[in-house]
């Protein structure tokens, strides 16, 4: 998910996707701790997507203020 795509979503949609990604990241970390997952770079990509979503939410809250 790119930053360009995030600007087209509503704030509520971003929050819903953020919760989903955070749950997915927790599951991936847990699975990786038990036995190595096939592609550990997915963890890094999930963290970056979460950071993009948080950045978009922060910029929206600052623009409203």
Q: Please, are residues 37 and 55 in contact by the beta-carbon 8 Å criterion?
A: no
Residues 6+ apart with CB under 8 A from 20: none
Instruction: Please state the φ and ψ torsions of residue 38, each to the nearest 5 degrees.
Output: -65, -45
Q: Which domains does the chain have, with CATH numbers?
A: 3-64 (1.10.287)
pLDDT at 1 over 70: no
Angle ∠(52,53,56) on CA atoms, nearest 5: 85
For 9-50, write each residue's pLDDT tens digit. 999 999 999 999 999 999 999 999 999 989 999 999 999 999
What local confidence, expressed as pLDDT, does residue 10 receive? 92
Q: Which DSSP category does 8 fall into? A: T
- Indicate the pTM of the whole model: 0.88
How sure is the predictor about 64, in pLDDT bands with cuts at 50, 70 and 90?
A: confident
pLDDT at 3 over 90: no
Reading the block at residue 31, the tokens are: 């699975």
């Amino acid at each position: 998910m790119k930053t360009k795509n995030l600007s087209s979503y509503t704030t509520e949609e971003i929050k819903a996707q953020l919760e989903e990604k955070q749950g997915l990241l927790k599951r991936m970390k847990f699975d990786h701790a038990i036995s190595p997952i096939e592609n550990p770079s997915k963890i890094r990509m999930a963290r970056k997507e979460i950071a993009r979503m948080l950045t978009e939410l922060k910029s929206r809250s600052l623009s409203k203020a």
